[in-house]
Structure 1
Amino acid sequence: MIGEVIVIGDLKMRDGASVEEHDRLGARMYDLVSRMPGFLSIKSFKADDGEEVTVFRFASEAALEAWRTHPEHVETMRRGHAEFYDSGFLQICKVIREVGPFAHD
Structure 2
Amino acid sequence: MIGEVVVIGGLNLRDGVSLEEYDRLGERMYNIVSSLPGFLSVKSFKADDGEELTVFRFASEAALEAWRTHPEHVETMKRGHAEFYASGFLQICKVIREVGPFEHA
TM-score interval for Structure 1 and Structure 2 normalised by the shorter chain = over 0.9
Partners of 1:101 and 1:38 in 2: how far apart?
Answer: 19
Report what 2:77 is aligned to.
Answer: 77
**Superposed displacement of residue 102, structure 1:** 2.3
Q: Percent identity?
A: 83
**Superposed displacement of residue 10, structure 1:** 0.2
Q: After the TM superposition, which of the residue ranges 14-23 and 85-94 deviates more from structure 2?
A: 14-23
SS of 1:98's partner is coil
Is it true that 1:29 corresponds to 2:29 in the alignment? yes
Report what 1:20 is aligned to.
Answer: 20
Q: Which runs of 5+ in 1 are unaligned?
A: none
SS of 1:76's partner is helix
**Superposed displacement of residue 40, structure 1:** 0.3
Q: TM-score, normalised by structure 2?
A: 0.98
Report what 2:93 is aligned to.
Answer: 93
Is it true that 1:55 corresponds to 2:55 in the alignment? yes
Q: TM-score, normalised by structure 1?
A: 0.98
**Superposed displacement of residue 18, structure 1:** 1.1
Report what 2:4 is aligned to.
Answer: 4
Partners of 1:11 and 1:70 in 2: how far apart?
Answer: 20
**Superposed displacement of residue 16, structure 1:** 1.1
**Superposed displacement of residue 20, structure 1:** 0.7
Q: Which runs of 5+ in 2 are unaligned?
A: none
RMSD: 0.6
Q: What letter is aligned with 2:65?
A: E
Q: What letter is aligned with 1:7?
A: V
Q: How many residues align?
A: 105
SS of 1:83's partner is helix
